[in-house]
Amino acid sequence: MVDQGKKMLLAIDIGNSHTVIGLFKDDILIGQWRFKSDRDRTDDELAILCHGLFSIIGVKNSEISGIIIASVVPGLETSWSSYCRKYLSANLESPPLLVSAENIKKSIHIKTDNPDEVGADRLVNAIAAWQKYRCNLLIIDFGTAITFDCVSAQCEYLGGAILPGIAIALDALSTCTAKLPRIDISVGPKKVIGTNTVQAMKSGILYGYGALVDGMTQKICLEMGCADGELKVITTGGMAHLIAPYAQSIDEVEPLLTLQGLQFLHRQQQKND
C-alpha cells in the first residue's frame, strides 16, 4: 500500500499509437502502464481502466495530488482532461498541467521557426535528456513516427527530423505487396544478407534502420558542429531496444525518458507557482 500523505503525481503521455501513464510517489516511479490510444474511449471508460490499474498497486484516486499531460492527439487530450476533472480533481493541489511550448519555455529555449508546432512529447524528451546529461544531445524516439531531436549544450532545442516508424514500414511491406508476409522482428536476423524472405525483411528493417540512425547521427553531428564524442545519442520509445543493437552511434536507451521529463516539468511548475 502507498503511504498516506505522500505527494502523488499522475503523468500522462498520449501518443498516436499508445498512451503511457506513470504514477510517481514523490520522485519515485511506482507504477507504469502502456495501452493503445483508442480515440473513441470516453472519460468514463478511462476512469474504469485507470482505477483498475491503480488498484493493482494499492493507490486510490484520492491520493493523486498532481497531474501533467503531454499529448499529440487532440481528441484523446480532451477525453483525458475530462477524466481528470471528473474523477481526480477533488484532491489536486493545482489544475492538470498540459504541456505546451508556452508553459515550458523556462525549461528550454526553443529555436525552431514555429515553436507551437513541435510535439509536446519531443519537447519533454529534450528537457528530460538535457537535465540528465547536460551536453550536446540527439534524442531519437521510436514511436509511430521516428523523431530526431537536437539539443545544444546550452539547453537549446534546435529542431530535428521526422520519418515513418518501424510499425508503419512493416505494415506497408505486408499490405502494399502481394507476397511479403507480416513478420516478427523481436528475434533479429543472423546476418545482413538474408537467404529467405523473412530473414531478408528482418535485415532490411533492423540493419536498415540501424544504418539510418548512424547516417543521420553523422550528418547531425557535423551540422551541430560537434567533434567526435561531443554528441550524446539517446533513444527512447517502444521499439528503441530493438534498433539499439544495430546502430553503433546509440549511447543510451532510456525507456522512461518521457515520464521522467513530465515529472521534472511538474516539479518545476510547482516551484514557479
* pLDDT per residue as tens digits for the range 21-68: 999 998 899 999 999 999 999 999 999 999 999 999 999 999 999 999
Q: How far apart are CA 244 and CA 253, in angstroms?
A: 7
**For position 6, what pLDDT does the model report?**
65
Sign of CA dihedral 34, 39, 43, 44: negative
**Residue predicted with more confidence, 159 or 272:** 159
Catalytic site residue from 121, 141, 171, 273: 121
121 as an active site residue: the answer is: yes
pLDDT of residue 228: 85
Is the per-residue pLDDT at 13 higher than 90?
Answer: yes
Mean pLDDT of 212-218: 98
pLDDT in tens, 147-166: 999 999 999 999 999 999 99
The pTM score is: 0.92
Looking at every residue in the chain, the average pLDDT score rounds to 94
DSSP readout, 63-80?
G--EEEEEES-HHHHHHH
**Is the predicted pLDDT of residue 1 greater than 70, yes or no?**
no
What domains sit in the chain, N to C, each tagged with a CATH number? 8-98 (3.30.420.40), 109-259 (3.30.420.40)
Contact 87, 47 (CB under 8 A): yes
